[in-house]
Structure 1
Amino acid sequence: MTATETPAAAAPPQAPEPPQLVPDALPLLPEDPPRVGEFWLRGRLGANAAGYLYAAADETGRGAVVAMMTEGSADDASARDRFVRAVDELPGESVLAHNDADDDDLALWVALGPLREDDGSSSAADERLIAERRGEDVLSAVLMDRIPQIGRVRGPDFRHYWEGRRRPGLFRIWPLPWPAVLRPASRLALVLSLLAMALIMALAVLIAWLLFRNAPEVDPAPIIPNPSGTTTVTITPTTPPPGSPGPGTPQPSTSPGSPGSTGPGPGTPNPNSPGTPVDPADRF
Structure 2
Amino acid sequence: MTATESQTEARPADTLEDAPARVIPEALPLEPEDPPRVGEFWLRGRLGANAAGYLYAASDENGRNAVVAMMTEGSADDAAARDRFVTAVDELPGDAVLAHNDADDDDLALWVALGPIRSDDGSSAASDERLLAERRGEDVLSAVLMDRIPHVGLFRGPDFRHYWEGRRRPGLFRIWPLPWPSVLRPASRVALMLALAAMALIMLLAVFLAWLLFRNAEPLEPEPVIPTPTNTATVTVTPTTPPPGTPSSTTGPSPSNSPTLTPPTGLPSGSPNPSSTGSPDPGDKF
Q: 1:35–1:173: 8 Å Cα contact kept in structure 2?
A: yes
Q: 1:229 aligns with which of 215, 230, 234?
A: 234
Using the alignment, how far apart are the partners of 2:64 and 2:217 within structure 1?
Answer: 69
User: Are 2:45 and 1:40 aligned?
Assistant: no
Q: 1:103 to 1:214 in 2, by over 3 A?
A: closer
User: 1:153 Cα deviation (Å)?
Assistant: 2.8
Question: How does the TM-score come out when normalised to structure 2?
Answer: 0.66
User: 1:215 Cα deviation (Å)?
Assistant: 8.8
Q: 2:191 aligns with which of 184, 189, 192?
A: 189
SS in 2 for 1:174: coil
SS in 1 for 2:120: coil
Q: 1:97 aligns with which of 99, 102, 110?
A: 99
Using the alignment, how far apart are the partners of 1:46 and 1:93 within structure 2?
Answer: 23
RMSD: 3.1
SS in 2 for 1:111: strand
Using the alignment, how far apart are the partners of 2:26 and 2:126 within structure 1?
Answer: 13
* Corresponding residue of 1:255: none
Question: How does the TM-score come out when normalised to structure 1?
Answer: 0.66
More helix per residue: 2
SS in 2 for 1:56: strand
Q: 2:121 aligns with which of 119, 122, 132?
A: 119
Q: 1:128 aligns with which of 120, 127, 130?
A: 130
SS in 2 for 1:66: strand
* Corresponding residue of 1:272: none
* Corresponding residue of 2:141: 139
* Corresponding residue of 1:264: none
Q: Identify which range, 151-160 or 47-56, moves more after superposition.
A: 151-160
* Corresponding residue of 1:9: none
User: 1:131 Cα deviation (Å)?
Assistant: 0.6
SS in 1 for 2:183: coil
Q: Identify which range, 31-40 or 155-164, moves more after superposition.
A: 31-40
The Cα offsets for residues 34-85 of structure 1, whole Å up to 9 and x where unpaired, read as 3222222222211111111111112321111010111111110110111112
Q: Identify which range, 218-227 or 59-68, moves more after superposition.
A: 218-227
The Cα offsets for residues 184-209 of structure 1, whole Å up to 9 and x where unpaired, read as 22221210111122233334445555
Using the alignment, how far apart are the partners of 1:147 and 1:125 within structure 2?
Answer: 29
* Corresponding residue of 1:154: 156
Using the alignment, how far apart are the partners of 1:81 and 1:38 within structure 2?
Answer: 23
The Cα offsets for residues 217-256 of structure 1, whole Å up to 9 and x where unpaired, read as 5875543469991167xxxxxxxxxxxxxxxxxxxxxxxx
User: Are 2:23 and 1:21 aligned?
Assistant: yes
SS in 2 for 1:145: coil
* Corresponding residue of 2:278: none
SS in 2 for 1:153: coil
The Cα offsets for residues 61-119 of structure 1, whole Å up to 9 and x where unpaired, read as 11110101111111101101111121122222212222222222221111111100101
Q: Identify which range, 33-42 or 106-115, moves more after superposition.
A: 33-42
* Corresponding residue of 2:108: 106
What is the 5 A alignment of 1:202-281? 202-206=204-208, 208=210, 212-213=213-214, 217=218, 221-224=222-225, 229-230=234-235
User: 1:174 Cα deviation (Å)?
Assistant: 3.5
Using the alignment, how far apart are the partners of 1:131 and 1:223 within structure 2?
Answer: 74
Q: 1:141 to 1:220 in 2, by over 3 A?
A: same
Q: 1:59 aligns with which of 61, 69, 72?
A: 61
SS in 2 for 1:223: coil
1:230 is matched by which residue type in structure 2? Answer: V
2:97 is matched by which residue type in structure 1? Answer: V
Segments of structure 2 that go 5 or more residues without pairing to the other structure are: 1-11, 238-286
Q: 1:30 to 1:222 in 2, by over 3 A?
A: farther
